[in-house]
Structure 1
Amino acid sequence: MKSSVRVAFSVLAAVGALMGCGAGSSADGGISADVRAVMNQPRYAGATWGLRVVDASTGDVVLDERPDEAFFIGSVRKLFSVGERLDQVGPDHHDDTPVHAQGTVADGVLQGNLVLVASGDLTMGGRTNPDGSIAISDYDHNEANSLGNAVQTRPDPLAGYRSLAAQVARSGITRVAGDVVIDDRLFQPFPYRGEFDLRPIFVNDDVIDLTINPTQPGQPAALDWRPKSAALGVGNGLLTGVAGSVFSFDLAPEFLPCIGVPGCAAQVSGTIPVDFKPQFTGVFPLTRSIRITRPDNYARTVFIEALQAAGVAVDAPAVKENPVQLLPPQGVYPASSRVAQLVGMPYADYARLILKVSYNLGADTSLLLWGKTQGVDNMDATLAVERGHLARHYGVPESEYEFFNGSGGGDTKARTRAVTTFLARMRESTHFDTYFDALPILGTDGSLAFVRDYAPDPTLAGATGQVRAKTGTNVEGTQAGLLVKGQAFGGYIHARSGRELIYTVVVNHARAADIDGVAQVFQDEGLISAMLWRDY
């Protein structure tokens, strides 16, 4: 099916028609009664819908609801940050992480420092399956707390650090008489959503996975976590409650300031009933997470622990502040000093990870790494350069959107035609196949895996597998429940007729009582997507 969607059309048609001007811009009929019925449900009283559908082969605008309104689109923004980097570096590009010995080695002793130079490798070997593919869960651990549960992947999250340590040992170093340093100067730290500063070094996506199981009422619940390190301990105050009791989960402090200080620990408390049903899976274990607020300090500790396990002694303490004052001038690392290197996964794999599970840190990092190719090293400068780039290369003027990072955080907004214009240009990209494959598939995988409810028309189930779209969600808690500021899909439909469509559907300011209500908005947009598959 992948090759069938690559119907070429001219740049003039893509830019002129998709931006709502030219001969192909008139709408081909109005929104159907059944799509309108979905939009008019009571849950959307006071909400605003946008819908734009474009024929991919001609550029004709098929539907265009509220084309001039700027909508909250959330993570649909990731379509841009991933597409831009994919076009810039290609699917086979990989970010490799070297380790350099700064000093002299005599009789196995390094009289100097061992420096791991962070490259922005998103997984550091921690998602690599035995066959070399990337491990992705439909319910990703990065959203364990916001969604209430997750399914952990199988690979060892510290695999890359263990590989680097083994290479250091094979190089002949048996002892580091100096220190171990993480060089994380590739780009300037970026404040991530009030949680921590994003840096180009990662350990397990910068979270600790908590695995929770009930035991007997009145007894401590079973609690385990990964990765384990002296960098962070976890105290277990979770109790198992009787059937029918109220579930509660608390983490103190929520964002630990002490990573890099000996004895740093988080305390988990609360009650988990014996008959509790974890979200999504319906079975135990339950997964929650702890943010690694200082990934540089944490990475230094786990690397030292991996070195020690590989037989390399380190004189410096494993837990302390990353000693960046010991680093040489940035970029001054001769090839002769390299003693290890972790080869990163191809960017095609990271595009899949970012888009399938809506990996926020990955999208922000991807944009910052794209910025490096443009000669800038911080988010503000990257966004400024991107504005000109999107206008020149993709036909999307800056008046069509408001972007604050690479992932869709904050009040990210765009007009629907900005999304469809970019998607149309990506269809002309040399790397479109990779981009297309990275998108979630309706009713099949990623953030669209659970969108399978096609009532009241079961024939709509034929849309399963025929829609590939990035989802975006912006939810805000209120006293009355949850406010869905924005829920959007943006992607491609291989219609039942064989027609190829580019589309985006979005609703702003819908109300939801709880997370299940938010999931229903997902279902409704999936239902609209299926109706478009059927009707066009």
Structure 2
Amino acid sequence: MAAGLSDSAAGQDKTVTLDHVKERVATIENMPQMGRGTVAICVVDIGTREVLVARNAHRIYAPASVLKVVTTAAALAKLGPDYRYTTTLQTAGKLEEGVLKGALVLEGSGDPTMGSWRFASEGFPPMTAWAQAAAKAVTDAGIRRIEGDLYIDASIFGDQIIPNDWAWDDIGNYYGAGAAGVNLHENLYHVDFQIPERQGDLTRIADIRPKQAGIRFHNRVTAGPPRSGDQAYIYAAPYTDVAVIRGTLPADAGKYTIKGGIMDPPLFTARTLADALKSAGVEVTGKATATFQTPRKPEGERTTVWTHQSPKLGDITYWLNKHSVNLYAEAFAKTLAVETDRPGTTEQGTRAVLDILGDLGVDTTGMILADGSGLSRRNAVSPRQVVDVLEKMALHPTYDVYLNSFPLAGVDDDPGGLSRVGVNTPAADNLRAKSGFISHARSYAGYVVDQSGRQLAFCMIANEFPSAGGGAIRNAFRELMVDLAHLKAE
């Protein structure tokens, strides 16, 4: 492990000066792994608003998933931590002697958590239990036969579920799953592989969970070098029926599972609900289908037979930042569009985020937002702007919820990615930071209290370094964050 990531107990007594921090920044900038890339850093004392460290702080760079702290700040500020998504199951037609003469409609609100496993311990049903609960509500309403379609109304977010300029090798994978007006199981499926021992040989798809009906999978994944990790990518566009999987998986693994993004979440939801209705003894004579345009909604008097509410937005924010869930962030952006009387699109969502930040007093001049999650390479923000967001949120009524969503350093049971950072140092159970990583970009942003009791807000971004340098830059940034916890005013 690199020095500084898990220091000895003696590290508790180490004192770091501001000059040392600035020297560390210069060292990172001149690392051979940086190549011709750029480092940008801003550190501010929240109490005095004094800028302690600034390097390229006002220039804009691709922030990767650090952008999530911007999106979640806007969502908490506008919607509040108690906001919930509401999805309703409605009849559109007359019910006569157990027969619904019309459609059964599931009207979505853009809830990204519906059927997710993350909230099961809090009483929110995962996918199968969710579908069973919906089907039970139908039978409890006295419906045994539906003479019409099962309709999934996903019109709230329109039909463009993927932002305009996401990379082709991201779309189709779980982290590239788009946010629809109706989402289920985080729009996730797993592909299980059997891997041959000889490098170069073709792997075999053993299973797909949950089943993706109507999708043809073309497997081009071969056995790669031992311990080479997941180098396989799913190539699939929204609403298509073909997915091509390319790349390699480690030959010594035997078995390996990768994650895919469901290509048509509303249709997948329709089929899942149709299966649950069939199991519950409800016959549907029409189709399981979806709509994205308001004028196409089925006609008829609506009666709500079941309502599903999401966890609170504050609880969703916790997992969004702890596990960097792109789907949640994209849904937040589109929700902000809807809640500010705009169409529920990514473009309008990013405009809403900028407006909300402006209302908070953040200078958004030159900030470019292409999505809510940071997956787009076209996003561009400055470290100073990110720190400005952190400063404003430190004074906001939702700060405790916001702060708690950041991964916590040096704590084993924290679900974020910093549990091994700063162990046995002042950073442990103190430093909170959201990380970011996309091709040729690494970043961190967060809070730490230094040895003088000052609360610091910081953001550090590296862009355009060679691909092989990512690990070294990540470790260097982690060492720098630990140094901030050791920092003492002179």
Same fold (TM over 0.5): yes
Q: CA contact under 8 A between 1:126 and 1:158: conserved in structure 2?
A: no
Structure 1 vs Structure 2 CA RMSD:
3.4
Q: CA contact under 8 A between 2:116 and 2:126: conserved in structure 1?
A: yes
- 1:31 to partner: Cα distance: 3.8
* Distance in 2 between residues matched to 1:273 and 1:244, nearest whole Å: 5
Q: Any stretches of 5+ residues in structure 2 without a counterpart?
A: 1-16, 172-176
Task: Show the counterpart of 1:90.
Answer: 80
Question: What amino acid does structure 2 have at the position aligned with 1:113?
Answer: A
C-alpha spacing 1:520/1:176, structure 2 compared with 1 (3 Å): farther
Q: CA contact under 8 A between 2:112 and 2:179: conserved in structure 1?
A: no
Q: Does 1:116 align with 2:98?
A: no
- 1:293 to partner: Cα distance: 1.8
Q: How does 1:229-268 map to 2 (within 5 A)?
A: 230-232=213-215, 254-255=235-236, 264=241, 266=243
Q: CA contact under 8 A between 2:224 and 2:248: conserved in structure 1?
A: no
Residue of 326, 347, 365 corresponding to 1:399: 365
Question: What amino acid does structure 1 have at the position aligned with 2:337?
Answer: G
Residue of 313, 324, 345 corresponding to 2:283: 313
Q: How does 1:410-489 map to 2 (within 5 A)?
A: 410-444=377-411, 445=414, 448-449=417-418, 452=421, 461-475=425-439, 484=440, 486-489=441-444
C-alpha spacing 1:437/1:382, structure 2 compared with 1 (3 Å): same
Q: Does 1:359 align with 2:340?
A: no
Task: Show the counterpart of 1:380.
Answer: 347
Task: Show the counterpart of 1:199.
Answer: 180
Question: What amino acid does structure 2 have at the position aligned with 1:420?
Answer: V
C-alpha spacing 1:29/1:343, structure 2 compared with 1 (3 Å): same
* Distance in 1 between residues matched to 2:229 and 2:72, nearest whole Å: 38
Residue of 216, 231, 252 corresponding to 1:275: 252
* Distance in 1 between residues matched to 2:333 and 2:129, nearest whole Å: 25
Deviations 1:251-296 (A, max 9, x none): 77x215665xxxx5656688756523xxxxxxx7532123322212
- 1:230 to partner: Cα distance: 3.3
Q: CA contact under 8 A between 1:78 and 1:363: conserved in structure 2?
A: yes
Residue of 464, 474, 477 corresponding to 1:525: 477
Task: Show the counterpart of 1:371.
Answer: 337
C-alpha spacing 1:295/1:160, structure 2 compared with 1 (3 Å): same
C-alpha spacing 1:63/1:256, structure 2 compared with 1 (3 Å): closer
| Larger mean Cα displacement after TM superposition, 291-300 or 437-446 | 437-446
C-alpha spacing 1:177/1:433, structure 2 compared with 1 (3 Å): same
C-alpha spacing 1:429/1:156, structure 2 compared with 1 (3 Å): same
SS in structure 1 opposite 2:181?
coil
Residue of 38, 41, 59 corresponding to 1:69: 59
* Distance in 1 between residues matched to 2:112 and 2:25, nearest whole Å: 39
Residue of 44, 47, 65 corresponding to 1:57: 47
- 1:520 to partner: Cα distance: 3.0
SS in structure 1 opposite 2:471?
helix
C-alpha spacing 1:312/1:499, structure 2 compared with 1 (3 Å): same
SS in structure 2 opposite 1:463?
coil
Q: CA contact under 8 A between 2:66 and 2:445: conserved in structure 1?
A: yes
| Larger mean Cα displacement after TM superposition, 224-233 or 78-87 | 224-233
Task: Show the counterpart of 1:17.
Answer: none
| Larger mean Cα displacement after TM superposition, 55-64 or 285-294 | 285-294
Q: CA contact under 8 A between 1:209 and 1:227: conserved in structure 2?
A: yes
Question: What amino acid does structure 1 have at the position aligned with 2:396?
Answer: S
* Distance in 2 between residues matched to 1:203 and 1:231, nearest whole Å: 17
- 1:181 to partner: Cα distance: 0.7
Q: CA contact under 8 A between 2:189 and 2:260: conserved in structure 1?
A: yes
SS in structure 2 opposite 1:62?
strand
Deviations 1:451-508 (A, max 9, x none): 63x7xxx86x442332112222231xxxxxxxx1x32111101224432111111122
* Distance in 2 between residues matched to 1:131 and 1:448, nearest whole Å: 22
- 1:112 to partner: Cα distance: 0.3
- 1:115 to partner: Cα distance: 0.5
* Distance in 1 between residues matched to 2:126 and 2:365, nearest whole Å: 45
C-alpha spacing 1:398/1:220, structure 2 compared with 1 (3 Å): closer
Task: Show the counterpart of 2:5.
Answer: none
- 1:215 to partner: Cα distance: 7.5
C-alpha spacing 1:508/1:323, structure 2 compared with 1 (3 Å): closer
Q: CA contact under 8 A between 2:431 and 2:447: conserved in structure 1?
A: yes
- 1:342 to partner: Cα distance: 1.3
C-alpha spacing 1:420/1:238, structure 2 compared with 1 (3 Å): closer
Deviations 1:20-64 (A, max 9, x none): xxxxxxx97674434433442211232222221111222222212
- 1:173 to partner: Cα distance: 1.0
Deviations 1:90-121 (A, max 9, x none): 21221011010000111211100000001111
Task: Show the counterpart of 1:7.
Answer: none
Q: Does 1:208 align with 2:177?
A: no
Question: What amino acid does structure 2 have at the position aligned with 1:353?
Answer: W
Task: Show the counterpart of 2:96.
Answer: 106
Q: CA contact under 8 A between 2:433 and 2:446: conserved in structure 1?
A: yes
**Percent of residue pairs bearing the same amino acid type:** 23
Please report the TM-score for the alignment, with normalisation by the length of structure 1. Answer: 0.75
Q: CA contact under 8 A between 1:82 and 1:363: conserved in structure 2?
A: yes
Residue of 330, 338, 351 corresponding to 2:304: 338
C-alpha spacing 1:270/1:75, structure 2 compared with 1 (3 Å): closer
Task: Show the counterpart of 1:294.
Answer: 264
Please report the TM-score for the alignment, with normalisation by the length of structure 2. Answer: 0.82
Task: Show the counterpart of 2:11.
Answer: none
Deviations 1:313-333 (A, max 9, x none): 111244x6659675148xx97
- 1:246 to partner: Cα distance: 9.0
Q: Any stretches of 5+ residues in structure 1 without a counterpart?
A: 1-26, 135-154, 277-283, 476-483
SS in structure 2 opposite 1:103?
strand
C-alpha spacing 1:322/1:72, structure 2 compared with 1 (3 Å): closer
- 1:187 to partner: Cα distance: 2.6
Question: What amino acid does structure 2 have at the position aligned with 1:518?
Answer: G
Question: What amino acid does structure 1 have at the position aligned with 2:473?
Answer: V
SS in structure 2 opposite 1:186?
helix
Q: Does 1:492 align with 2:447?
A: yes
C-alpha spacing 1:55/1:268, structure 2 compared with 1 (3 Å): closer
C-alpha spacing 1:518/1:286, structure 2 compared with 1 (3 Å): farther
